[in-house]
Structure 1
Amino acid sequence: MASRPAEQRGDARQLAARLDAEGVRNLALTWVDNAGIARVKAIPAQRLVQAAERGVGMSPVFDVFTSEDQISPSEHLGGPDGDLRLFPDLDRVTTLAAQPGWAWAPADRYDQLGLPHPACQRQFARRMAERATAAGLDLRTGFETEWVVTRAPAGPPPAAADTYEALDYPCAGPAYGMTRVVELSDYLRDVSEALTVQGVEVLQLHPEYAPGQFEVTTAPGDPVRAADDVVLVRETIRAVSQRHGLRASFAPSVVAGEVGNGCHLHLSLHRDGESLHRAADAEWGLAPDAQAFLAGILGALPALLAIGCPSPASYLRLQPSHWAGVYQCWGVENREAALRLITGAPDDLDGGHAEVKTFDAAANPYLAVGTVIAAGLHGMETGASLPAPTVGDPGVLGVRERARRGIVRLPSTLGEATDRLEKSAPLSEALGDVLHGAVLAVRRAEEARFAESDAEEIAAATRWRW
Structure 2
Amino acid sequence: MRNLTKEDVLEQAQEYNVKFIRLQFTDIFGIFKNIAITVDELPKAMEGRIRFDSSVIDGMVGNREREICLLPDPASFVIFPWRPREGAVARLICDIVNPDGTPYECCCRNVLKKVISEAETLDLRMMVGAETEFFLFQTDERNKPTVLTHDTAGYCDLSPVDLGENARRDMVLTLEEMGFEIASSHHEFAPGQHEISLKSDDALSTADKLITFRFVVRTIAKRHGLHASFMPKPANDLSGSALHIYQTLYRGLDNTFYDPQGIDQLSDMARYYVGGLINHARSFAAITNPIVNSYKRLVPGHLTPCYVAWSTENRNTIIRVPANRSEETRVELRNPDPACNPYLVTAVLLKAGLTGIKHKLRPSQPVNENLFTLSPADCRARNILTLPQNLEKAIDLLKQDELVIHTIGEGLAAKYIMAKELEWQKFQTHVHLWELEEYLPLF
One-letter identity of the residue aligned with 1:428 = I
2:90 corresponds to which of 95, 98, 103: 103
After superposition, give the CA deviation of every residue in 1:120-176 in whole Å (9 maximum; x if it has no partner): 100110111111121222210122111100223231426xxxxxx5x3322222233
One-letter identity of the residue aligned with 2:419 = V
Does 119-128 or 434-443 show the bigger shift? 434-443
Given the alignment of the two structures, is residue 426 of structure 1 paired with residue 403 of structure 2, yes or no? Answer: yes
Given the alignment of the two structures, is residue 41 of structure 1 paired with residue 21 of structure 2, yes or no? Answer: no
Q: How far apart, in 1, do the equivalents of 2:28 and 2:237 lie?
A: 26
SS in 2 for 1:117: coil
Given the alignment of the two structures, is residue 60 of structure 1 paired with residue 78 of structure 2, yes or no? Answer: no
Deviation for aligned residue 1:432: 2.1
Given the alignment of the two structures, is residue 25 of structure 1 paired with residue 12 of structure 2, yes or no? Answer: no
Alignment-derived partner of residue 138 in structure 1: 125
Does 394-403 or 416-425 show the bigger shift? 394-403
Does 228-237 or 270-279 show the bigger shift? 270-279
Deviation for aligned residue 1:323: 2.2
One-letter identity of the residue aligned with 1:137 = L
SS in 2 for 1:35: coil
One-letter identity of the residue aligned with 2:416 = V
- Between the two proteins, the alignment pairs up a number of residues equal to 430
SS in 2 for 1:450: helix
Alignment-derived partner of residue 236 in structure 2: 256
Given the alignment of the two structures, is residue 194 of structure 1 paired with residue 174 of structure 2, yes or no? Answer: yes
In structure 2, the CA distance between the partners of 1:289 and 1:27, relative to structure 1 (3 Å rule), is same
**What is the percent sequence identity of the aligned residues?**
23
SS in 2 for 1:151: strand
2:151 corresponds to which of 171, 178, 183: 171
Q: How far apart, in 2, do the equivalents of 1:376 and 1:269 lie?
A: 10
Q: How far apart, in 1, do the equivalents of 2:8 and 2:407 lie?
A: 37
Given the alignment of the two structures, is residue 152 of structure 1 paired with residue 139 of structure 2, yes or no? Answer: yes
Q: How far apart, in 2, do the equivalents of 1:185 and 1:380 lie?
A: 43
Q: How far apart, in 2, do the equivalents of 1:85 and 1:352 lie?
A: 40
Contact 1:147 1:213 in 2 (8 A): yes
2:286 corresponds to which of 297, 303, 306: 306
Deviation for aligned residue 1:447: 1.2
Contact 1:175 1:207 in 2 (8 A): yes
After superposition, give the CA deviation of every residue in 1:213-243 in whole Å (9 maximum; x if it has no partner): 1010111111111000001111111111111
Alignment-derived partner of residue 10 in structure 2: 16
SS in 1 for 2:174: helix
Alignment-derived partner of residue 93 in structure 1: 77
Does 31-40 or 304-313 show the bigger shift? 31-40
Q: How far apart, in 1, do the equivalents of 2:169 and 2:69 lie?
A: 38
Q: How far apart, in 2, do the equivalents of 1:195 and 1:215 lie?
A: 14
TM-score (norm 2): 0.91
Deviation for aligned residue 1:182: 5.2
1:417 corresponds to which of 383, 394, 397: 394
Deviation for aligned residue 1:455: 7.5
In structure 2, the CA distance between the partners of 1:142 and 1:13, relative to structure 1 (3 Å rule), is same
In structure 2, the CA distance between the partners of 1:353 and 1:181, relative to structure 1 (3 Å rule), is farther
SS in 1 for 2:304: coil
Alignment-derived partner of residue 318 in structure 2: 338
One-letter identity of the residue aligned with 2:79 = T
SS in 1 for 2:284: helix
Q: How far apart, in 2, do the equivalents of 1:181 and 1:45 lie?
A: 45
Deviation for aligned residue 1:22: 2.6
Alignment-derived partner of residue 211 in structure 1: 191
2:298 corresponds to which of 313, 318, 335: 318
One-letter identity of the residue aligned with 1:321 = G
1:395 corresponds to which of 366, 372, 379: 372
One-letter identity of the residue aligned with 1:399 = P
Q: Which runs of 4+ in 1 moved over 6 A?
A: 454-458
SS in 2 for 1:219: strand
TM-score (norm 1): 0.87
After superposition, give the CA deviation of every residue in 1:397-448 in whole Å (9 maximum; x if it has no partner): 2211222222111101111111111111111222221122122112212211
Q: How far apart, in 2, do the equivalents of 1:330 and 1:455 lie?
A: 36
Q: How far apart, in 1, do the equivalents of 2:358 and 2:254 lie?
A: 21
Alignment-derived partner of residue 4 in structure 1: none
